[in-house]
Amino acid sequence: MTKPAPNEDGRDLRSFGRRRGRKISARQQALMDEVLPRLAIDPAISPPEPLARLFGNEATIDDVWLEIGFGGAEHLIWQAEHNPHVGIIGCEPFEEGVVKALTAIEEQQLANVRIYADDARTILRWLPPASIARAFVLFPDPWPKRKHAKRRLINPATVDLLARVIRPGGELRIGTDIGDYVRTLLIALAGHPAFTWQATCPDDWRIRPADWPQTRYEQKALREGRRGYFFRFIRRRD
């Protein structure tokens, strides 16, 4: 399959919708002004070696995970709480989602989260090779209209970027509630030489794993009569 063409200026096609919704409150703006700069990743600065230094004392961090498009941050925060020895990079361009993450990080005093409030593909190019132990892409924008399908985040080009940064034996998790997106991601991943689909029966992709908490987007899908699909791929070692 050919890779989606970038814009004429060479930039990636935008894979997400709006950046802002309703106006945020003064308290939320303070989080953006005061807390985000402490946690934000600057891709203009080379990543530290080892990458765990991104989170301060690397002696307390065993692995680094990446969540692309964390939305309301439910999954991001749950993983940070339940895996204190894992550093988690969260990417989300939508302002309200970033505010939700910052609010929870401050309230729960989480030290193992860093934020990039923009297109995750910039971070995928910034990260060192084989530096991520687990990556999550949960309920990405489905772009349901055929003319917009080229904007879907999961495509061969993005999968190549993920293959570069996920270490051998590492895991990629993708969730969606859109049947046609299942086809898109399987085309991009099932035949990719770097990944092996971890499924031996339908329940392996129809039932959400216990360490994969439900997000508000999945809850919305269920209310609207759609089911979730939960895919796990392992980065091959050879």
Residues catalogued as catalytic: 141
Pairing of β 132-138 and β 113-116: unpaired
In 3D space, the residue among 170, 173, 195, 197 whose CA is nearest the CA of residue 69 turns out to be: 173
DSSP, res 186: H
Percent helix, strand, coil in the chain, to 5, is 40, 20, 45
Beta bridge partners of 88: 65, 113
Rounded CA-CA distance 8/5 in Å is 9
Rounded CA-CA distance 218/4 in Å is 27
Map residue 203 onto helix, strand or coil.
helix
